[in-house]
Amino acid sequence: MKKIYLDNAATTPTDRRVLEAMVPFFIEVYGNPSSLHAFGQEANHAIEDARYTLASCIGAKPEEIIFTSGGTESNNCAIKGVAYARHEKGNHIITSKIEHHAILEPCHFLEKQGFEVSYIPVDKYGLVDPADVEKAITERTILISIMHANNEIGTIQPIGEIGKIARGRGIYFHTDAVQTLGHIPIDVNELNVDILSASGHKLNGPKGVGILYVKKGIRMLPFMHGGDQEQQRRASTHNVPGIVGFGKAVELAKEEMGKEIEKLTSLRDTLFEGILSTIEFTHLNGHRTKRLPNNVNISIAYVEGESMILNLDMEGIACSTGSACTSSSLEPSHVLMAIGLPHELAHGSLRFSLGRQTSEDDIDYVLTVLPGTVTKLRSMSPLYKKEVK
Amino acid sequence: MEYSEKVMEHFRNPRNVGELENPDGVGKVGNPVCGDIMELYIKVDGGIITDAKFKTFGCGAAIATSSMVTELVKNKTIEDALKISNRAVAEALGGLPPIKMHCSVLAEEALKKALDDYRTRSAQSASGKAA
């Protein structure tokens, strides 16, 4: 049976070239980078090389890059680290309704500690209006955090404009770039961001490593206390193989970005146009063009997401859904609700996220299999029956 | 979260999908908000459930529990069918993940509603005949 992986927004396979770059750092160059002997120093040079690669990819200085354990840590660190460092200046944070849980949950936590958080709504495409951000600013605002691109619907936010507003008011600006690093160009200076989070495993790098870009002069309390690593901003022995792998993944992504954007955009459009034209009562979620090259998110009326995922999995296709069925709350995705989808369409959403390995044949296969799956489930659906009658 | 083999088997090959013409009882439960809607149809002859069918909008567990409940009620008396609990449906499926137990509750509720509907209908037709 064919096996087609279209869940690259969840995680990507590690590129073989990345793995090969990592291997020596498990078995040969295994020293602790904090050690002064040759074993340690060689490892230290490798992480500094990776730091340089990461920094130059986003227009930052190497000393502005902190290595972390991944996107969730970077986001937690950014939100709580700024809140605690600046609480004497104010207690108000602005973010959006469609952030990843790794932003929303730290915000909810801070609300319990007495901080105030404004959650900016989005339009039907999932776009934040910079004017809404500006209106929400108060004397007490210390941080604005808006994601670069949404992980579910792929909408790319006007980060540069929002950053300009924040900078004009002297407010720190953070962006969660977990879905964008290595996929679309990022320049922290053009985007006017002070703090940026990213993760290795979303761009064919290893799991368990991430970065936080922190612009020089930005005050933030550390999240991990211990040794003096990362200029005392993040204690813990460096994950040397992970950091080396992340560096290699970014190097490859940067080299191949132009080609990859072109290829994935074309496959993405073929996929969603194919679905919309062959299956009735379907709807594209997110923006048609202000969208990640690898993201297709479709709502299919009268069928539920999990049952579609299970059926597609039986045909060898891996994708995901914004349906509630795996959450204990039974509420569908907060992102799909924020763009105004009715519950039944939010429950009937499918996300296909393409990757480096995705081919035209893969897309053709999905377009061949999906209509049959939908027909099968609709024939069982009490909602479809009513519509057709 | 992982489904049992039995759940997947009923999900892959659901039994008794569809509607019954002139059913003797219909149970409709659930709502779009929680993402599960079940409709259960039963045919009753001489106090015995002779046929059952379902239509469901919902997740894998919702479809599997619907399928299982239609299997469990067939050839049962109304009294015995009333005793089928959500736990019995879940157990017959080799268990459900904890967060999916609500699907078995929905299946039990659909069955109870269909049986209630049957009793209401038969009471009405009896009083109709009496009049």
pLDDT, one tens digit per residue, over A61-97 is 999 999 999 999 999 999 999 999 999 999 999 999 9
DSSP codes, B25-66: EEEEEEETTTTEEEEEEEEEETTEEEEEEEEEES-HHHHHHH
Whether the per-residue pLDDT at A326 is higher than 60: the answer is: no
Which pLDDT score is estimated for A332? 87
Can you tell me the distance from the alpha carbon of A265 to that of B113, in angstroms, rounded to the nearest whole number?
50
A337-357: burial string, b at 16+ Cβ within 10 Å, e else: bbbebebbbbbbbbbbbbbbe
B60 CB neighbours in chain A (<8 A) are: 306-307, 310, 325
Question: Does the active-site annotation cover B59?
Answer: no
Contact A343, B35 (CB under 8 A): yes
- Supply the pLDDT for residue A331: 78
Who's near B27: CB < 8 A, 6+ residues apart?
A: B38, B39, B40, B42, B109, B110, B111, B112, B113, B114, B115, B116, B117
Nearest to B58 among A304, A343, A385 (CB): A304
Which one, of A52, A34, A51, lies nearest residue A43 by Cα? A34
User: What pLDDT, on the 0 to 100 scale, is given for residue A1?
Assistant: 83
Contact B56 A382 (CB under 8 A): yes
Closest CB to A381: pick one of B28, B55, B102.
B55
Residues in chain A within 8 Å Cβ distance of B33: 330, 343
Per the CB < 8 A criterion, the answer to whether B81 and B73 are in contact is yes
Identify whether the C-beta of residue A347 lies closer than 8 Å to the C-beta of residue A324: yes
Which stretch of DSSP H or E encloses residue A117?
strand A116-120
**Per-residue pLDDT at A387:** 58
Q: What is the mean pLDDT of residues A169-197?
A: 98
Domains, chain A, with CATH or none: 4-11+257-380 (3.90.1150.10), 16-252 (3.40.640.10)
Maximum distance among all Cα pairs of chain B, rounded to whole angstroms: 56
Average pLDDT, chain B: 92
* Encoded tokens for A358: 């995705």
Overall average pLDDT of the A324-331 stretch: 62
Nearest chain A alpha carbon to B41: A382
Q: Return the HEC string of A173-233.
A: EEEECCCCCCCCCCCHHHHCCCEEEEEHHHCCCCCCCEEEEECCCCCCCCCCCCCCHHHHC
Mean pLDDT across B30-58: 92
Average pLDDT across chain A, whole number: 95
Q: List, edge to edge, every strand of the sheet that includes A92-96.
A: A65-68, A210-214, A195-199, A172-176, A141-145, A92-96, A116-120
Q: For A10-36, how does the pLDDT look when each residue is reduced to its tens digit (9 = 90+)? A: 999 999 999 999 999 999 999 999 999
- CB contact under 8 Å between B60 and A328, yes or no, is no
Cα Rg for chain A, rounded, in angstroms? 22
How many residues in total does chain A contain?
389
Taking the CA atoms of chain B, what radius of gyration do you get in angstroms?
Answer: 15
Quickly state the pLDDT bin for B127 (edges 50, 70, 90): confident
- pLDDT confidence of residue A385: 67
Residue of A nearest to B34 (CA): A330
Q: How far apart are CA A370 and CA A245, in angstroms?
A: 36
pLDDT digits (tens, 9 = 90+) for B59-86: 999 999 999 999 999 999 999 999 999 9
pLDDT top residue among A123 and A384: A123
| Chain A interface includes B29 (CB < 8 A) | no
Task: Give residue A269's pLDDT.
Answer: 98
| Locus of tokens 């995922």 | A309
The predicted model scores a pTM of 0.94
The per-residue pLDDT for A388 is 58
Q: Is the pLDDT of residue A325 over 60?
A: no
% of chain A beyond a pLDDT of 70: 97
Please list every residue in chain B whose beta carbon sits closer than 8 Å to the beta carbon of residue A327.
Answer: 99
Is the model's pLDDT at A57 over the cut of 80? yes
Residues making up chain B, counted from first to last: 131
- Identify the band that residue B107 occupies on the pLDDT scale cut at 50, 70 and 90: very high
Whether A300 contacts A377, CB under 8 Å: no
Asked if residue A249 lies in contact with residue A268, where contact means CB atoms within 8 angstroms, the answer is: no
pLDDT category, A320, cuts 50, 70, 90?
very high
- CA–CA distance, B94 with B112 (Å, rounded to integer): 22
- The one-letter amino acid code at B37 reads I
Interface check for B11 against chain A (CB to CB < 8 A): the answer is yes
What is the per-residue pLDDT across A252-295, written as a single tens digit (0 to 9) for each?
Answer: 999 999 999 999 999 999 999 999 999 999 999 999 999 999 99
Calpha distance A354→A357 (Å, rounded): 8
Going by pLDDT thresholds of 50, 70 and 90, the confidence category of residue A327 is low
Residues of A with Cβ-Cβ distance to B29 under 8 angstroms? none
Query: Is the pLDDT score of B36 beyond 80?
Result: yes
